[in-house]
Amino acid sequence: MKRAVFLDRDGTINEDVGHITDPDRFELIPGATDAIRRLKDAGYFLVLATNQAGVARGLMTEPQLLRVLGAFEDLLEREGVRLDGIRYCPHHPEEGIGSYKQDCDCRKPGPGQLLSAAEEHDIDLASSFMIGDHYSDVEAGIAAGCRSVMLLTGHGQQEIEKLDAAQKERTDYVARDLAEAADWIVVQG
């Protein structure tokens, strides 16, 4: 079975500039691609796990989202790194349009994205990690049986300030950025 690192996108790998419908708006967080490379070199299977409620809200279609995700992959590849898989949730429980308005388990904090990737790619969730800048990323990791890292990039600083003591205790590690998170994960083995 594979060890994996599940990565949120906005605020984790790229700057969070709101719903990205134009691939030219991607701005990578400094050090993020080097961190991804270190995780890959350490033998981790890398999966993007991202909530993309812009589809549910009617800001883009699912085919447009797929083009944006493809452009994101191309951007990473130009930086010399490659993801092994991509999962996304286009739903929103309150603000969705049509079939996209639903409460699903693929929307983080639900574990659906991680569980489906684990099933498809033979991932050992107990030896895997979830990294993101929202507590919902941490919760998704916990629900899937992974260890979780919360970043202070993106919305992370504001999120960490809202957490109670029990939530902070359930978070395995708080990292300044993806580079620090990668360093910590590599040491964990």
Amino acid at 27: E
Residue 8 annotated among the catalytic residues of the structure: yes
Task: Name the catalytic one among 8, 16, 133, 177.
Answer: 8
CA 23 – CA 26 distance, rounded (Å): 6
Percent of the chain that is helix, strand, coil (3-state, to 5)? 40, 20, 40
CA 182 – CA 113 distance, rounded (Å): 21
Concatenating the DSSP letter of every residue in 40-108 gives HHTT-EEEEEEE-TTTTTTSS-HHHHHHHHHHHHHHHHHTT---SEEEEE--BTTT--GGGB---SSST
What sign does the CA torsion over 63, 34, 125, 176 have? Answer: negative
Which are the catalytic amino acids? 8, 10
